[in-house]
A and B are shown apart, each in its own frame.
Chain A
Amino acid sequence: MAGNEPSIIAFTCAWCGYPSAVLAGVNRIEYPPGVNIVRVMCTGMIEPAYIMRALEYGADGVVVVGCLMENCHYMVGNKRAQERAEMLRPLLDMMGLGAGRLRTEWINASERVRFAAAMKDFSAALKEMGPNPLGRCDDDAGGGEAGQ
């Protein structure tokens, strides 16, 4: 955790999740700074491997924020994301990371209050759960970020 704040990776879709976060900003609705917003076109783009890697990199929690279930801009992308989350949760329990570290939120682009509330709630729950047991070790790599 950065300071005391749980570090959260929030995958937000370009059509509902991200705009709701932006609107929360417009209305100055506060939420904890540990929330890092990663914009994707659709929550259906999020592979289970991204979520596992976020946890491997030390995130305390991962939340997937997308459109309301019947309203996905790409029709059923959010349903896919929901299915993948449901696959991952028992796995996270088996591994000892805890299913509670993965959340999904399906909200409208205009629901800025819900967005901020969801981030605050998740942050509080993660504080209670404790930090990611993997911590955030600055593992060195063979190469840097540049150059694949």
Chain B
Amino acid sequence: MENGGSSAGKGRVGVHLCTCRGEVARHLDLDRLAAELTVDPAVAYVKIDSELCAPSGQEELQKTHREGRADRVLVGACTPNIQGLIMRSALEGAGLNKYLYEQVNLRELCAWVHADREAATDKAVRLMRAAIARALMLEALEDIELKVVPEALVIGGGVAGMQAALEIASRGFTAHIAERTGALGGRAYKLSVTFPTHNCGICCMQYCRECVLTPKVEDVMQNPRIKVHLNSEIEAMEGGFGDRRVVLKTPSGREELRVGTIVVACGSDVFDAARIQEYGFGLHKDVVTTMDLERMLEQEREIGGRFVKPSDGKSTPRTVNFIQCVGSRDRVKGNLHCSLVCCTYAIGQAREIKKLSPTTEVYVHYIDLRGPYRGFEEFCEQAKSEGVLFVRGRVAEVREKKGRLHILFEDTDLGRTVDMPTDLVVLAVGQEPARGSDGIARMLHLQLDQDRFIKDLNPNFPSEYRRGVFVAGCAEGPKGIRYSIEDAKTAAAAASDLMAAGKIKKTRAIAVVDEARCRGCGKCEEACEYQAARVVEKNGRRVSVRDEARCEGCGVCAAQCCNRAISIKHNTRPQMEALMRQLLGRKGKARGEGA
């Protein structure tokens, strides 16, 4: 039979009500509430304070708790998720086990949503009574301590991946890079120039590939704490938070790694321009993508060739048209999201062409010009002064007429359609989630955003860890090099903090199995998304056991178990049912009601 543990049922509840600087008191009759609760034999005392989250309030909580009249505390105030943590922490400082702390949100869930003061107070009484019934059943528990293996796995060897690995290694931990292709550097390696816009001079654009990337790749390869696995993919993953066993499929066989943290830096893929048929990519040699243009410009610089049309390999294009937002901001044939960097790099390439061939007419066809980078405004002005022409209007079609390429668009500023002959069309393609990133997300229980990039737990606070898994770079969403590096640094720092601590505390509110009741039927194993439930042989019987590192305490297995063999610590059935009974005004269990 279920019971609430050794400390349940004998406790006395100390109740603190907060007026929230008079705010809650305006909507609820706290005096009546206090009066109704004081007469409950389970309540040790009821105190009303004006600001429990303030230092004075916290002191009051601690002082009262030290008096020893109650062994568990219930606070009726605001939301437990935010200020509640302050109050709980204060009480922990006075010796209260954090699992013996209960809070009711009287402010957002009662005072602020019901106009009738009488009815709101009645409800407050119900909510507090229910919480008292639950509080009496709480058990004093200790957090689980998980060890964190001081090794990290970085998935992806591009800009973000390499940076993360270097930062982790510099802090003294081993980093494994698992890279799918045969080379490090990712897409940035294929770029001939990159554009930090605050450096507006064309004379010194950052040739990241030569100046920065190559040395960085060297650093990574030489670093004794970084193990690079090229042409490798993740085959399987076992274990849980802090201790994961990863099986890599490498050209020389299977390799098993044991890591404590993971940084997902699998990057993004470039949009396949052929999906927008009207732009003729793949049909006409002189329709290229910005990535193709990179190669052309690179040849121009390194081999000393001329900037020429791909179709004949000799004539200089007299007209070049850049089409922006190819595959982005397109609900029908592409992705809805904006890829952030295309305006910047396309304008940069436009300026580069102008430099190479000042007589060539260069047009940039845009819907909006977006550059979330410092100096972008100046960058555009500079481009205009160099003769780059900006036309607002989404290009409708690229086609061949009488042996010449033509581009059809509306100049929305002037309000007229134009059918312009051109020599080179450059498609500024956007970014989309890398092939296979959804598989990795699934394996690591990460969620995808509406644009299918991997979602961070909190968009405002990057790298709030989730089971020791961090996401950095374009895997999290389209971005340029600088922000990828920043991401990688944040992720690496957070991962290193975890590994430096060597252990992490995890909530005890996870599933436990009553082995006497367990039939070993396997339904929990089937239901668990985290592979935390396994049916094993134990003393000649089959029972379900839990992997503490993997169990999330979601309760799905407990509800799936038809025999009540599973309970979630701190979220037990008797607590739930006692809560419901109080909310519905019953005095106690119905006669004959089962456990």
Are these two chains actual partners, yes or no? yes
Could you tell me if B556 and A44 are in contact, using CB atoms closer than 8 angstroms?
yes
In the complex, B574 has a CB within 8 A of chain A: yes
Could you tell me if A74 and B552 are in contact, using CB atoms closer than 8 angstroms?
yes
Could you tell me if A74 and B120 are in contact, using CB atoms closer than 8 angstroms?
no
Task: List the one stretch of B59-67, B241-249, B578-586 in contact with chain A.
Answer: B578-586
Closest CB pairs A-B (n = 8): A25-B108, A45-B555, A141-B588, A44-B556, A74-B554, A75-B529, A36-B583, A42-B554
Could you tell me if B586 and A138 are in contact, using CB atoms closer than 8 angstroms?
yes
Binding site for B on A (CB under 8 A): 2-3, 5, 7, 9, 19, 21-26, 28-33, 36-38, 40-42, 44-47, 50, 53-54, 56-59, 71, 73-77, 80, 84, 116, 136, 138-148
In the bound assembly, the distance between CA atoms of A47 and B562 in angstroms comes to 9
Could you tell me if B553 and A41 are in contact, using CB atoms closer than 8 angstroms?
yes
- Known A42-B554, A148-B3: A9·B584 in contact at CB below 8 Å: yes
Could you tell me if B585 and A2 are in contact, using CB atoms closer than 8 angstroms?
yes
In the complex, B127 has a CB within 8 A of chain A: yes
Could you tell me if A139 and B586 are in contact, using CB atoms closer than 8 angstroms?
yes
Contact of A141 among B9, B112, B119, B591 (CB under 8 A): B591
Contact of B112 among A28, A53, A148 (CB under 8 A): A28
Chain B residues closer than 8 Å to A142, beta-carbon distance: 589, 591
B483 to chain A, nearest CB (A): 25
- Known A22-B105, A45-B559, A45-B571: A141·B113 in contact at CB below 8 Å: no
Contact of A41 among B2, B527, B554, B590 (CB under 8 A): B554
Contact of A116 among B113, B120, B560, B590 (CB under 8 A): B113
Chain A residues closer than 8 Å to B420, beta-carbon distance: none
Chain B residues closer than 8 Å to A3, beta-carbon distance: 119
Closest to A29 in B: B113
Could you tell me if A146 and B119 are in contact, using CB atoms closer than 8 angstroms?
no
In the bound assembly, the distance between CA atoms of A46 and B579 in angstroms comes to 14
Q: Which B residues, 367 to 394, have Cβ-Cβ distances below 8 Å to chain A?
A: none
Binding site for A on B (CB under 8 A): 1-4, 8-10, 42, 79, 81, 105, 107-116, 119-120, 122-123, 126-127, 130, 133, 136-137, 445, 447, 509, 527, 529, 552-556, 558-560, 568, 571, 573-574, 576-591, 593, 595
User: What are 5 of the A-B contact pairs (CB < 8 Å)?
Assistant: A25-B112, A28-B112, A41-B554, A139-B591, A141-B587
Could you tell me if A21 and B108 are in contact, using CB atoms closer than 8 angstroms?
yes
Could you tell me if B591 and A45 are in contact, using CB atoms closer than 8 angstroms?
no
Could you tell me if A57 and B556 are in contact, using CB atoms closer than 8 angstroms?
no
- Known A40-B571, A80-B556: A148·B591 in contact at CB below 8 Å: no
Could you tell me if B559 and A44 are in contact, using CB atoms closer than 8 angstroms?
yes
Could you tell me if B586 and A30 are in contact, using CB atoms closer than 8 angstroms?
no
Chain B residues closer than 8 Å to A76, beta-carbon distance: 529, 556
Could you tell me if A37 and B109 are in contact, using CB atoms closer than 8 angstroms?
yes
A101 to chain B, nearest CB (A): 13
Q: Contacts A41-B568, A58-B585 given; 9 further ones with Cβ under 8 A?
A: A2-B119, A28-B113, A30-B113, A31-B114, A38-B580, A140-B587, A141-B589, A145-B589, A146-B9
Could you tell me if A9 and B577 are in contact, using CB atoms closer than 8 angstroms?
no
In the bound assembly, the distance between CA atoms of A34 and B575 in angstroms comes to 21
In the bound assembly, the distance between CA atoms of A53 and B119 in angstroms comes to 25
Could you tell me if B586 and A36 are in contact, using CB atoms closer than 8 angstroms?
no
Contact of B587 among A7, A139, A146 (CB under 8 A): A139
A134 to chain B, nearest CB (A): 10
Chain B residues closer than 8 Å to A138, beta-carbon distance: 585-587
Chain A residues closer than 8 Å to B578, beta-carbon distance: 145
A76 to chain B, nearest CB (A): 6
Could you tell me if A41 and B9 are in contact, using CB atoms closer than 8 angstroms?
no
Could you tell me if B136 and A146 are in contact, using CB atoms closer than 8 angstroms?
yes
Chain A residues closer than 8 Å to B560, beta-carbon distance: 80
In the bound assembly, the distance between CA atoms of A84 and B556 in angstroms comes to 12
Contact of A31 among B113, B555, B579, B590 (CB under 8 A): B113
Contact of B589 among A46, A71, A143 (CB under 8 A): A143
Could you tell me if B579 and A26 are in contact, using CB atoms closer than 8 angstroms?
no
In the bound assembly, the distance between CA atoms of A32 and B108 in angstroms comes to 14
A142 to chain B, nearest CB (A): 6
Could you tell me if B590 and A139 are in contact, using CB atoms closer than 8 angstroms?
yes
Chain B residues closer than 8 Å to A26, beta-carbon distance: 108, 112
Closest to A13 in B: B554
In the bound assembly, the distance between CA atoms of A53 and B593 in angstroms comes to 10
Q: Which of B105, B108, B130 counts the most chain A CB atoms within 10 A?
A: B108
Chain B residues closer than 8 Å to A29, beta-carbon distance: 113
Could you tell me if A74 and B9 are in contact, using CB atoms closer than 8 angstroms?
no
Chain B residues closer than 8 Å to A59, beta-carbon distance: 580, 584
